[in-house]
């Protein structure tokens, strides 16, 4: 097994996780439970495909993907912040909605239940990773950029305050709602970018193509203890395990199903505190009465 | 108010005719406050007197229903938090508004973060905090996480927070509730220094000994109204205590309770009427507590070695301002809080490590001080609430006996005059007084030997108060032992056979009710007197 | 006086009604975007579901599974807990039922075989439900994330078991069970010929009834609801809050697991990979729309099943995916309207004074 191939394949698998997990971190640090990463990702993938298809331009596809993620992110934000809907239920609803809407418009636009026509992508050569793919770089930079945002900017300070002790933030005149709206919108955009990468990498949109990646991102957020860089590390870890499994396919050291389980098992262990407690932001999930 | 006319300067704070209601609760009724510049002004009153609400209105955290607010001569009625902060008002809340995972410096500059381009200039924040800290003598480490601070240090951070924003008028809500005596002294030093530097300070407190120590002027509030304004140098603790608890109310309550008397001063003699008639001196105690130590949520000793016993047919009244350990004591007795050391006995049974159910079976009943949190499930019907804690009694083979529950509800509703008399209504829809009657009916309408009654008539209308009081007297006559904890001094005086005062986790006195009066008890309550242990 | 309970009823019923109206509007939009007439499509949907025996049978079949998962989720919510793991619990239960059934021969009478398999299903789901229960009680681990993660783990595990150990060649399902089959409706009601509807729906109905009795008539149910409404008062009332949490999650898992019998015992007579098919997640919707009440859950289960089956019926006119969109819309709409309705109704409420 070629180490270079191992690294490139791992990165390729990791990019969607990196985008989505970074989005998940910022929204949850602000106190909003985000189970909708899967839905954002799927929407981003589909919107990008539609945009790229009808305009013939990859960048327009990218923009459409961002827009799709933004809309769904704002939907989650309005439901949970303005209407105080249960954040878990809303997250699940958005995932279901994304599946339904993408399927419906897939049929409507492309008359197919399974996939869209082929679209162009960023990578010139589809078999190689393509370090000329700007989305790859954006994905790798997402976590450090988020880390900078959260730990080194005034907005990031407010996010951290709002997610731990919103009353304290209110008492100094900060609009908790505004901070949260921005954070959730950001999470929608970032996770959608993960989907955009997927769609452009595979050069088409296929039904439910995200296949649970959004939930692996959730696992990475928790396993990384709501820290952008740690979550990114978790993403790389999970991606590496997948790559390992693919490369060792014939050798069957561990069945593929067990490799699949790794992110989820690790997350449960983290929550149970066997290796140090994963403590969420104190105000996570508490917009309701 | 004419005080300001003497000084030729508009008062720092002038609030007039403030009305504020939360639903049916009138937190402030025509309340007023006048604070001159350069004063340390104490705002005192019992729990629920309306002090915090008044200050929240001042700080822009709450909108008033009626009245006017002036700060330094300017009308600022209805302003927001940001306006208040900008105008130099800094509020240090009773429950700290600090983010535990952030550092001291981060908490202080939150909302007004210094910037360097797009970055948060943390280094500048740290430097500023250290400078401010030195200037004011409020010693803190700017780089430390707030979660690691002691309570006293956290309070200093809160004060620095306000000063960082240029506060000239500082409002502190119960600042000493969480401090140890040396920390309190440090705080006085800081406050005096701030006053001398031109600041104005409002202290919300009920610790009267501290009020005497530190304040220049005192405003007393009671039941949402402003009762009086006193100059600290010219008044006595007794006078303050009297204003706080209200003689007139005591008078009415006692007349309603059937204790007729002529004059107004020194009613202690009437206590003899209900003393001792129902207990025999050598009866074994129904409840005995020995050297009880209970820790509070903040890791402090809230109950610091308490010993007492109650005989059958006796009411022991526990007086004292709230926050001196009464809550933790009751919770430990009821089985809702673990005991650090010491023992609790009901009759001959040691219940120190028994759970709630076992204590009930041993004959314990408990009227909790917070009926909404502990005493009732608001969405359950009255009938269901009447069996809360007794559900096993009303079940056979795992299934609840609806007929018996309904019958029990009917009986209790009639016996305790609960209105409206419908057992299927959700408890939420009853008035406060009737909700309390449900709790009382449940706890007193069963077989018990010891009753813990904590603030049994709080938030209850006068008619229901009288009703509950007579039930308590009946229980005593029937040979029950009752521990009555109440922040209402007149209630304790009217009902108890013996009265203990709790101050900072200890019983500082236990005396026969005959010897007690508001004046006498007041001195113990404010901590200026302690009997030998 | 009764106006007080009317408000409680209003708080319970308004959100689903509002959600239904919103869904209708969305449905109109989606249908018209396809150039069809909403009236025609809705009528077709109703005809294809409640209008003919086969369609109705399918509705009943789908509603049965949803009823189980809906009951499971609603039980957890009544205790203040969120069981998102019904999907995995359902699959585990189905697998366990098949496992038991495989080890029985046709010589075993149905009176023993069916209950045995059912118990297997409940135990299978219950074990999966006990894990988050234990983790919550012992470590304070939030059950939402644990159940979500466990879904993936359980499904992967089952997939591995099937693919590597117990499957029929070229398929992803187990061999047929020896005994424990539950008869289909068309066995004695020929009108339902061809539909998967089977007597498991009777089990579902009984479970709902038992659930109702448990919640509203038993002592443990009284304590469970108390914990969900006001844990401090429940503790004051001598209830072991932790005990309730563990029991509730385990029981919730068991009920979801029991749902597996619909497919395994009543329909295909084997366990197949993917049997859950989203019914676990839809169970959350069913619980939500059914306002966590057994009767409401049954009605909501029928509603979602009608939507699902109806989608197939109208497929010629509008893609059945429209139904999935409407499902998401309904859930979102209910979730948003519950707190709003409560706020609006409580705003004007004043306590009754003597």
Spatial separation of the C-alpha atoms in residues C23 and C40, rounded to whole Å: 17
C54-103: pLDDT as tens digits: 889 999 999 999 999 999 999 999 999 999 999 999 999 999 999 999 88
In a domain, C29, yes or no: no
In a domain, A285, yes or no: no
Q: How far is C337 from chain B (nearest CA, A)?
A: 19
Q: How far is CA A46 from the centre of its chain?
A: 15
In a domain, C327, yes or no: no
C347 touches B: beta carbon within 8 Å: no
In a domain, A137, yes or no: yes
In a domain, A161, yes or no: yes
pLDDT at B198 (0 to 100): 87
Work out the average pLDDT over A77-95.
94
* Structural domain range at position A247: 3-120+131-272
B453: tokens are: 């009654």
Helix axes B181-196, B151-164, angle to 10 degrees: 10
pLDDT at B11 (0 to 100): 86
Q: Is there a cis peptide before residue A24, judged by omega within 30 degrees of 0?
A: no
Q: Which CATH number characterizes residue A60's domain?
A: 1.10.3470.10
In a domain, C248, yes or no: yes
Spatial separation of the C-alpha atoms in residues C25 and C2, rounded to whole Å: 34
* A169 band by pLDDT with thresholds 50, 70 and 90: very high
Buried-exposed string C19-47: b where 16+ CB fall within 10 A, e elsewhere:
bbebbeebbeebbeeeebebeebbebbee
pLDDT at C173 (0 to 100): 83
Percent of chain B at pLDDT exceeding 70: 90
Regions of chain B where pLDDT drops below 70: 1-8, 47, 246-283, 532-533
* Structural domain range at position C200: 37-317
Residue A116: name the closest of A38, A58, A53 by CA. Answer: A53
B-proximal residues of C, 212-271, CB under 8 Å: 213, 217-220, 222-223, 225-226, 229-230, 232-238
Model confidence at C28: pLDDT above 50: yes
C190 touches B: beta carbon within 8 Å: no
Spatial separation of the C-alpha atoms in residues B382 and C341, rounded to whole Å: 24
Model confidence at C306: pLDDT above 70: yes
Please judge whether A168 and B113 are an interchain contact, meaning their C-beta atoms are less than 8 angstroms apart.
no
Rg (CA), chain A: 19
Longest dimension (CA), chain A: 61
A39-63: pLDDT as tens digits: 999 999 999 999 999 998 899 999 9
* C9 band by pLDDT with thresholds 50, 70 and 90: confident
B127-161: pLDDT as tens digits: 999 999 998 888 889 999 999 888 788 999 999 99
Q: Which CATH number characterizes residue C133's domain?
A: 1.10.3470
Q: What are phi and psi of B16, to 5 degrees?
A: -135, 140
In a domain, C60, yes or no: yes
Which residues face B375 on adjacent strands? none
Give the mutation candidate from A31, A152, A157 for the B interface (greatest B CB count, under 10 A): A157
ipTM: 0.87
Model confidence at A188: pLDDT above 60: yes
Q: Which helix (H) or strand (E) holds C164?
A: helix C143-164
Percent of chain A at pLDDT exceeding 90: 62
C84 touches A: beta carbon within 8 Å: yes
B21 touches C: beta carbon within 8 Å: no
DSSP B285: P
pLDDT at C170 (0 to 100): 76
Which residues face B116 on adjacent strands? B119
Please judge whether B110 and A156 are an interchain contact, meaning their C-beta atoms are less than 8 angstroms apart.
no
Q: Which residues neighbour C290 within 8 Å (Cβ) at sequence distance 6 or greater? A: C16, C70, C74, C296, C297, C298, C299, C300, C301
- Which partners does chain B have (≥3 C-beta pairs < 8 Å)? A, C
pLDDT at B150 (0 to 100): 82
pLDDT at B391 (0 to 100): 92
Q: How far is CA C252 from the centre of its chain?
A: 10
Model confidence at A251: pLDDT above 80: no
Spatial separation of the C-alpha atoms in residues B514 and A41, rounded to whole Å: 77
Please judge whether A169 and B98 are an interchain contact, meaning their C-beta atoms are less than 8 angstroms apart.
no
Question: Beta-carbon neighbour count of residue A276 at 10 Å?
Answer: 8
User: Residue A120 half-sphere exposure, CB side, CA atoms within 13 Å?
Assistant: 14
pLDDT at B263 (0 to 100): 33
SS3 B110: coil
SS3 B60: coil
In a domain, A281, yes or no: no
Length of chain C: 354
pLDDT at C193 (0 to 100): 80
Spatial separation of the C-alpha atoms in residues B455 and B440, rounded to whole Å: 11
Work out the average pLDDT over C11-26.
88
* C292 band by pLDDT with thresholds 50, 70 and 90: very high
B471: tokens are: 């039930």
User: What residue in C sits closest to A86 (Cα-Cα)?
Assistant: C335
Q: Which residues of C touch B392 (CB under 8 A)?
A: 219
C117-154: pLDDT as tens digits: 999 999 999 999 999 999 999 998 889 999 999 999 99
Alpha helices in A153-227 (DSSP H): 154-164, 166-171, 176-202, 213-223
Q: How many domains does chain C have?
A: 1
pLDDT at A279 (0 to 100): 78
Q: How far is C260 from chain B (nearest CA, A)?
A: 28
Please judge whether C354 and B374 are an interchain contact, meaning their C-beta atoms are less than 8 angstroms apart.
no
Q: Which residues neighbour B90 within 8 Å (Cβ) at sequence distance 6 or greater? A: B159, B161, B162, B163, B165, B167, B169, B170, B171
Spatial separation of the C-alpha atoms in residues C335 and C347, rounded to whole Å: 19
Domains of chain B in sequence order: 39-245 (3.40.50.300), 268-363+448-533 (3.40.50.300), 377-446 (no CATH)
Residue C147: name the closest of C255, C229, C73 by CA. Answer: C73
C340-350: pLDDT as tens digits: 888 887 776 54
Question: Beta-carbon neighbour count of residue C287 at 10 Å?
Answer: 30
Are C294 and C74 spatial neighbours (Cβ–Cβ below 8 Å)?
yes
pLDDT at A262 (0 to 100): 87
Spatial separation of the C-alpha atoms in residues B289 and B281, rounded to whole Å: 18
Beta pairing, strands B314-319 & B481-485:
parallel
pLDDT at B119 (0 to 100): 93
In a domain, A282, yes or no: no
Size of interface A-B (CB pairs under 8 A): 64
In this complex, the residue of A89, A103, A271 whose CB is nearest that of residue C284 is A89
pLDDT at A146 (0 to 100): 96
Q: How far is A193 from chain B (nearest CA, A)?
A: 24
CA dihedral sign, ordered C200, C203, C205, C211: negative
Alpha helices in B97-236 (DSSP H): 104-109, 122-136, 151-164, 181-196, 208-214
User: Residue C331 half-sphere exposure, CB side, CA atoms within 13 Å?
Assistant: 29
Q: How far is A38 from chain C (nearest CA, A)?
A: 13
Mind spelling out the 3-state secondary structure of B9-57? CCCCEEEEEEEEEECCEEEEEEEEEEECCCCEEEEECCCCCCHHHHHHH
Model confidence at A129: pLDDT above 70: no
């Amino acid at each position: 097994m070629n180490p270079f191939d191992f690294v490139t394949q791992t990165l390729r698998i990791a990019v969607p996780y990196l985008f989505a997990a970074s989005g998940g971190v910022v929204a949850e640090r602000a106190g909003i439970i985000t189970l909708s990463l899967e839905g954002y990702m799927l929407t981003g993938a589909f919107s990008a495909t539609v945009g790229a298809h009808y305009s013939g331009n990859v960048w327009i596809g990218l923009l459409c993907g961002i827009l799709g993620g933004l809309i769904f992110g704002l939907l989650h934000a309005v439901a949970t912040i303005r209407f105080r809907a249960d954040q878990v239920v809303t997250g699940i609803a958005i995932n279901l909605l994304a599946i339904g809407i993408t399927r419906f418009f897939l049929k409507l636009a492309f008359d197919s239940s399974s996939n869209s026509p082929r679209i162009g992508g960023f990578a010139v050569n589809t078999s190689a990773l393509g370090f000329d793919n700007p989305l790859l770089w954006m994905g790798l930079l997402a976590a450090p950029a988020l880390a900078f945002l959260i730990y080194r900017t005034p907005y990031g300070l407010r996010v951290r305050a709002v997610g731990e002790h919103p009353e304290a933030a209110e008492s100094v005149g900060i609009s908790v709602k505004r901070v949260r709206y921005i954070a959730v919108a950001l999470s929608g955009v970032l996770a959608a970018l993960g989907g955009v990468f997927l769609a452009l990498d595979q050069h088409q949109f296929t039904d439910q193509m995200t296949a649970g990646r959004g939930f692996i991102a959730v696992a990475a957020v928790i396993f990384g203890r709501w820290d952008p860089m740690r979550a990114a590390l978790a993403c790389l870890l999970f991606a590496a395990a997948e790559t390992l499994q693919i490369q060792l396919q014939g050798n069957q050291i561990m069945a593929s199903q067990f490799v699949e389980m790794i992110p989820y098992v690790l997350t449960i262990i983290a929550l149970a505190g066997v290796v140090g407690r994963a403590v969420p932001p104190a105000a996570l999930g508490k917009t309701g009465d | 108010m004419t005080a300001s006319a003497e000084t030729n300067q508009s008062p720092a704070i002038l609030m007039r005719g403030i009305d504020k209601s939360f639903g049916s609760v009138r937190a402030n009724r025509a309340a007023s406050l006048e604070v001159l510049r350069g004063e340390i002004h104490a705002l005192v009153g019992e729990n629920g007197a309306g002090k915090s609400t008044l200050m929240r209105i001042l700080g822009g955290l709450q909108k008033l229903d009626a009245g006017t607010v002036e700060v330094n001569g300017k009308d600022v009625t209805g302003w927001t938090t940001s306006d208040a902060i900008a105008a130099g008002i800094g509020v240090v809340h009773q429950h700290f508004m600090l983010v535990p995972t952030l550092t001291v410096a981060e908490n202080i500059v939150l909302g007004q973060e210094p910037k360097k381009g797009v970055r948060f200039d943390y280094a500048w924040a740290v430097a500023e905090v250290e400078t401010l800290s030195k200037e004011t003598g409020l010693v803190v480490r700017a780089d430390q996480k707030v979660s690691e601070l002691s309570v006293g240090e956290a309070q200093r951070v809160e004060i620095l927070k306000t000063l960082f924003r240029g506060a000239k008028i500082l409002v502190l809500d119960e600042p000493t509730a969480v401090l140890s005596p040396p920390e309190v002294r440090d705080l006085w030093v800081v406050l005096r220094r701030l006053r001398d530097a031109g600041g104005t300070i409002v202290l919300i407190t009920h610790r009267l000994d501290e009020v005497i120590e530190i304040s220049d002027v005192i405003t007393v509030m009671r039941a949402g109204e402003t009762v009086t304004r006193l100059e600290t140098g010219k008044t006595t603790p007794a006078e303050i205590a009297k204003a706080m608890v209200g003689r007139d109310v005591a008078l009415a309550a006692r007349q309603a309770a059937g204790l007729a008397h002529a004059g107004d001063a020194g009613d202690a003699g009437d206590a003899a009427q209900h003393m001792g008639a129902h207990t025999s001196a050598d009866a074994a105690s129904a409840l005995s507590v020995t050297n009880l130590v209970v820790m509070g949520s903040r890791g402090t000793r809230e109950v610091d070695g308490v010993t007492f016993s109650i005989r059958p047919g006796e009411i022991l009244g526990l007086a004292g301002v709230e926050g001196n350990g009464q809550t933790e004591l009751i919770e430990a007795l009821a089985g809702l809080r673990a005991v650090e050391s010491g023992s609790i006995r009901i009759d001959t049974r040691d219940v120190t490590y028994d759970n709630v159910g076992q204590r009930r079976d041993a004959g314990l009943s408990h009227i909790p001080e917070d009926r909404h949190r502990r005493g009732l499930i608001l969405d359950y019907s009255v009938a269901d609430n009447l069996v809360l804690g007794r559900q096993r009694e009303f079940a056979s083979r795992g299934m609840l006996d609806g007929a018996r529950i309904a019958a029990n509800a009917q009986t209790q509703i009639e016996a305790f005059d609960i209105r409206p008399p419908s057992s299927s209504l959700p408890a939420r829809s009853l008035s406060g007084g009737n909700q309390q009657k449900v709790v009382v009916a449940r706890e007193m309408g069963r077989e018990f030997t010891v009753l813990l009654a904590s603030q049994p008539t709080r938030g209850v209308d006068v008619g229901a108060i009288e009703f509950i009081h007579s039930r308590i007297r009946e229980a005593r006559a029937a040979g029950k032992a009752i521990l009555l904890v109440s922040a209402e001094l007149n209630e304790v005086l009217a009902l108890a056979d013996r009265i203990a005062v709790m101050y900072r986790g200890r019983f500082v006195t236990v005396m026969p009710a005959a010897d007690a009066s508001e004046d006498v008890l007041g001195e113990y309550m404010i901590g200026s007197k302690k009997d030998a242990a | 006086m009764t106006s007080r309970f009317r408000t409680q009823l209003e708080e319970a019923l308004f959100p689903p009604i509002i959600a239904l109206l919103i869904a209708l509007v969305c449905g109109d939009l989606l249908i018209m975007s396809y150039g069809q007439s909403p009236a025609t499509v809705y009528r077709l949907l109703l005809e294809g579901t409640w209008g003919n025996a086969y369609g109705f049978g399918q509705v009943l079949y789908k509603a049965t599974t949803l009823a189980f998962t809906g009951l499971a989720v609603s039980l957890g919510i009544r205790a203040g807990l969120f069981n998102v793991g019904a999907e995995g619990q359902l699959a585990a239960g189905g697998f366990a039922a098949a496992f038991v059934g495989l080890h029985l021969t046709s010589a075993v009478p149905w009176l023993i075989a069916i209950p045995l398999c059912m118990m297997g299903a409940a135990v299978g789901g219950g074990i999966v439900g006990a894990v988050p229960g234990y983790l919550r009680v012992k470590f304070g681990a939030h059950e939402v994330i644990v159940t979500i993660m466990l879904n993936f783990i359980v499904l992967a595990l089952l997939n591995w078991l099937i693919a590597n150990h117990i499957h029929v060649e070229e398929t992803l399902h187990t061999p047929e069970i020896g005994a424990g089959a539950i008869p289909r409706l068309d066995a004695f009601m020929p009108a339902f010929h061809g539909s998967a509807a089977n007597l498991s729906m009777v089990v579902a109905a009984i479970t709902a009834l038992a659930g109702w009795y448990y919640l509203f008539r038993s002592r443990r149910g009284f304590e469970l609801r108390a914990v969900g409404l006001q844990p401090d008062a429940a503790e004051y009332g001598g209830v072991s809050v932790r005990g309730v949490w563990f029991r509730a999650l385990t029981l919730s898992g068991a009920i979801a697991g029991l749902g597996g019998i619909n497919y395994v015992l009543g329909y295909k007579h084997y366990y197949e990979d993917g049997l859950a098919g989203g019914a676990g997640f839809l169970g959350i919707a069913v619980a939500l729309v059914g306002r966590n009440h057994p009767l409401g859950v049954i009605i909501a289960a029928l509603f979602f099943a009608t939507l699902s089956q109806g989608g197939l019926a109208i497929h010629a006119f509008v893609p059945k995916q429209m139904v999935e969109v409407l499902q998401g819309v309904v859930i979102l709409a209910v979730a948003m309207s519950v707190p709003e309705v409560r706020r609006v109704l409580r705003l004007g409420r004043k306590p009754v004074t003597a």
